[in-house]
C-alpha cells in the first residue's frame, strides 16, 4: 500500500538523520560556525540519539519492514558499543597514569574549619603541588609541612597571603609580577616530574577575593 511505503520512507529518513548524528557528529570540524555548533550539540547527545533510533525502528515492525528495523538496531547498537569502549578507554583510573597531581583549595580567610584539620588533609592528599588561595589561615602550615613540601612560592607574610603554592618538586623559572590596577600579582613556575615532560603553570590573583 502506498501509505505504508510513505510511512516507511519517512521513518527511514528520520532514522538516517539520527544514525548520522549519533555515529559521526564528533568527526565534524568546527570550521563552519553553524555546522560546528550543531555538531557539538549532537556530539553531547550521541548515546541518546542512537537509543532513540532503536526505539523508532520498532515502529517499522508493524509496517513489515523487519529487515530495515534489524539493520537499524544493529548499526545503533554497534555505535553505542563504540561509544562505551571509547569512554572506558578514556576513563582509566586517574592515579594509574597521572603525571602530576595538583590540589587547588580556597582556604578562605574566614574559614571555620580548624587549621589543624586542613593541614592533615593537605598532608594526606598525595599531591605533588598544592595551591592555596586566601591562604592567610594557612600561613603557619608551610613550616610544619616543609618535610613534605620544602618549596614555597608566594605568601610573603601572614597579612599578605593571597596565594601560597607548596611543592614537593623544586620549581624552575619562578616569576612573580605585581602590576598596578585591580590585579594584585601573577605567579608563574615550571616543575619537571621525573620521567615526564616539564609542567608550567601560572595563576593571576585579583585584589577582589571574589574574582
Element spanning 96, H or E: helix 94-97
Torsion of the alpha carbons at 86, 89, 90 and 96, rounded to the nearest 10 = 180
Check residue 98 and give its pLDDT: 54
- 10-residue stretch averages of pLDDT, the chain, 211 residues long: 86 94 84 76 90 94 92 95 82 55 83 84 88 84 90 78 84 60 56 60 46 36
Using alpha carbons, select from 105, 103, 163, 155 the residue that is nearest to residue 129. 103
Cα(169)–Cα(148) distance, integer angstroms: 10
What pLDDT score was predicted for residue 165? Answer: 86
Q: What is 95-206's CATH number?
A: 3.60.10.10
The pLDDT value given to residue 44: 84
Q: What is the pLDDT of residue 197?
A: 56
b (16+ CB within 10 A) / e for 86-119 = eeeeeeeeeeeeeebeeeebebeeeeeeeeeebb
- CA–chain centroid gap for 1, Å, is 53
* Total residues belonging to the chain: 211
Which pLDDT value is given to residue 71? 94
Domain ranges in the chain? 2-90, 95-206
User: What's the pLDDT score for residue 38?
Assistant: 82
How far apart are alpha carbons 47 and 107 in whole angstroms? 40
> What pLDDT was estimated at residue 14?
94
Q: What is the pLDDT of residue 173?
A: 61
Residue 95's pLDDT is: 47
Amino acid at each position: 500500500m502506498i501509505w505504508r511505503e510513505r510511512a516507511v520512507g519517512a521513518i527511514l529518513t528520520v532514522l538516517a538523520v539520527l544514525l548520522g548524528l549519533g555515529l559521526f557528529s564528533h568527526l565534524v570540524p568546527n570550521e563552519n560556525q553553524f555546522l560546528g555548533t550543531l555538531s557539538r550539540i549532537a556530539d553531547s547527545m550521541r548515546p541518546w540519539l542512537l537509543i532513540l533510533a532503536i526505539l523508532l525502528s520498532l515502529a517499522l515492525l508493524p509496517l513489515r519492514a523487519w529487515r530495515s528495523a534489524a539493520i537499524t538496531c544493529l548499526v545503533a547498537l554497534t555505535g553505542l558499543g563504540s561509544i562505551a569502549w571509547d569512554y572506558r578507554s578514556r576513563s582509566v583510573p586517574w592515579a594509574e597514569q597521572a603525571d602530576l597531581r595538583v590540589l587547588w583549595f580556597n582556604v578562605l580567610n574566614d574559614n571555620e574549619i580548624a587549621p589543624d584539620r586542613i593541614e592533615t588533609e593537605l598532608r594526606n592528599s598525595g599531591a605533588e603541588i598544592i595551591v592555596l588561595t586566601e591562604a592567610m589561615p594557612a600561613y603557619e602550615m608551610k613550616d610544619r609541612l616543609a618535610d613534605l613540601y620544602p618549596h614555597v612560592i608566594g605568601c610573603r607574610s601572614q597579612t599578605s597571603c593571597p596565594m601560597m603554592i607548596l611543592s614537593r618538586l623544586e620549581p624552575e623559572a619562578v616569576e612573580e609580577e605585581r602590576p598596578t590596577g585591580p590585579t594584585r600579582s601573577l605567579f608563574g613556575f615550571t616543575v619537571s616530574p621525573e620521567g615526564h615532560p616539564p609542567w608550567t603553570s601560572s595563576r593571576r590573583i585579583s585584589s577582589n577575593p571574589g574574582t
